[in-house]
Chain A
């Protein structure tokens, strides 16, 4: 197993260049604080979309409750961070937020992932609503008013680190044998089962990994925007994430990244017309489904187009 293949070195260089360029632009003030928010939104949305893509795009389990896991990460991180006002606190917050989200994902996933298709969608939606109502009624989360004044240690370095780490880890998961098992469940669940794949186990695994990274995204959100309330994480948020995944292509990690960037830029331009933004989102969903149901990228990755590696090992 060679780690320093040509492809990996190229990816590393690309990561470093992206980081340095944006960092320079921020420190020279070309990207002002307004656009910095857009960049933070892009990073958080990328993590959310890539993790939802693992569940919906790669494993084929339609989930409408991703915002629920995000809210768990956000609240756990915010509460820890309010107690421990330091970067260590933030780090502990992010890790424990992500782990709590994953644990809840497993607890919810084991019963609900026996359901299929639309029923699963509606069950996950219901679950996210239950999580929201619980946060709305808890003492420690300060109810509907939410938590305010969460210390803000997150900056471009944190966001970038967690975004790239999430993309790389999820990408590695997809290309591992577990990931292959997940893809086979999407292709044909009965055939996968006949081949000896424990479908429930891999579905729950994908769900837990997805929830874990949604928790990371939520934690970053609470730290960067220093204010959270339960209504931020409603059905609307789950749909927002779904739009990114669908637009980018279900089953394409780079598609999700591209779509997250495109939509965040679009949102920035439509900032002052929030109703128009939602109309555009809704139209996008319908039009994509009518004319290009596979999304921008389909199940292709950007590296398939440039042919970095010698042979493409995509599962159709």
Chain B
């Protein structure tokens, strides 16, 4: 039981990071129906920006988080403008291939400039352990969960209460109708990319602190897993992405804790295939009817 609770604690802190990344996937998919493969790499660049800011400018956790989020937001907008916007009326496969291309480009350009070696992250948050009975909670885990929850609350506020959030929802429901209503579709899409990428950037800094190591290919696996989380929760649904992220995180730690940690990734993907076959719309997703 204690081991189970301990795994849950670890799973929730990992899952809240997945949830942050999954939010970006789900928002972008909701608005332009694109699996943004480059999202995992935006998260990697967020981690590197955080690394650079804390190591070379000696800034603390919060400035690093904010700078990293801001630069990722800019990166997200640039990627969208250069690579995805010209393809808005192309086939879905063409855009998907472009996204894979952008993802590889970000990975290997980073590898070219910073080298392929693993770097260790500076210690920004205290790793004091809190003992609750036999369960150990690391202070870092508390910070990670709190930061993620705060960011998600801000996101919910933006999406549900502000004007730009309203236009985001409108574009995602029906792009053409939204345009006819005078909503600036391009601006809204850029904004969506900015918010999604900023959340990924925050996720990058948190992961850097949690695992204490970063490398240019670190975004591939978490990116795919966050996508699985988004699909599980129902792609296009923001609460779905949060629930999905937490579930995948918990599932992963349970598989490593009780089974074989080597099968962790396989378990996540098997889970994905099962969801896609049994309930393709996910937990909270809407069923769409196929029209001829």
Contacts and interface: CB of A to CB of B under 8 A. Distances in A.
Interface stretch (B107-115, B156-164, B199-207, B244-252): B107-115
Given A62-B93, A235-B220, A114 B87 contact: no
A239 to B, nearest CB: 6
Contacts of B112: 275-276, 279
A285 B92 CA distance: 15
A129 B265 contact: yes
- By secondary structure, the A interface counts as helix
Interface string A87-123: 0000000000000000000000001101101110111
A146 B212 CA distance: 29
Contacts of A26: none
A246 interface: yes
Given A285-B101, A290-B86, A130 B35 contact: no
A298 interface: no
B154 interface: no
Interface string A230-243: 00000100010010
A260 B49 CA distance: 37
A145 interface: no
A137 B264 CA distance: 12
Contacts of B260: 137
A117 B93 contact: yes
Contact of A123 (B91, B92, B96, B272): B272
Contacts of A275: 108, 111-112, 116
Contacts of B35: 118, 121-122
Given A62-B96, A123-B273, A275-B111, A136 B101 contact: no
A121 B272 CA distance: 12
Given A115-B276, A129-B269, A235-B220, A278 B104 contact: yes
Nearest to A245: B97
Given A137-B260, A242-B97, A246-B97, A282 B273 contact: no
A118 B112 CA distance: 30
Interface in B26-43: 33-35
Interface string A293-306: 10000000000000
A122 B104 contact: no
A126 to B, nearest CB: 3
Contact of A286 (B91, B93, B102, B272): B102
Given A118-B35, A133-B266, A137-B260, A123 B276 contact: yes
B292 interface: yes
A39 B266 CA distance: 34
B272 A137 contact: no
A34 to B, nearest CB: 24
B105 A282 contact: yes
Nearest to A277: B108
B interface, size bucket: 35 or more
Contacts of A242: 97, 100
A26 B119 CA distance: 46
Given A122-B231, A130-B270, A275-B111, A289 B280 contact: no
Contacts of A290: 83, 86-87, 98
Nearest to A276: B112
Contacts of A84: none
- By secondary structure, the B interface counts as helix
A226 interface: no
A125 interface: yes
B98 A289 contact: yes
A279 B101 contact: no
Interface string A134-147: 10110000000000
A283 B263 CA distance: 34
Contacts of B83: 286, 290
B18 interface: no
A202 interface: no
A25 interface: no
Q: Which of B34, B228, B277 has the most CB of A within 10 A?
A: B277
Nearest to A130: B266
B92 A126 contact: no
A10 B95 CA distance: 39
B90 to A, nearest CB: 6
B270 A137 contact: no
B55 to A, nearest CB: 23
B262 interface: yes
A281 interface: yes
A279 B266 contact: no
B244 to A, nearest CB: 14
21 contacts: A114-B277, A115-B276, A117-B93, A121-B35, A126-B224, A126-B228, A126-B272, A127-B273, A129-B266, A130-B269, A133-B263, A190-B292, A239-B100, A242-B97, A242-B100, A278-B111, A282-B101, A282-B105, A285-B101, A289-B87, A290-B83
Interface of A: 62, 111-112, 114-115, 117-119, 121-123, 125-127, 129-130, 133-134, 136-137, 190, 235, 239, 242, 246, 250, 275-276, 278-279, 281-286, 289-290, 293
Q: Which 9 A-B pairs have the closest CB atoms?
A: A285-B101, A126-B269, A282-B104, A282-B105, A133-B266, A278-B108, A286-B101, A289-B98, A130-B266
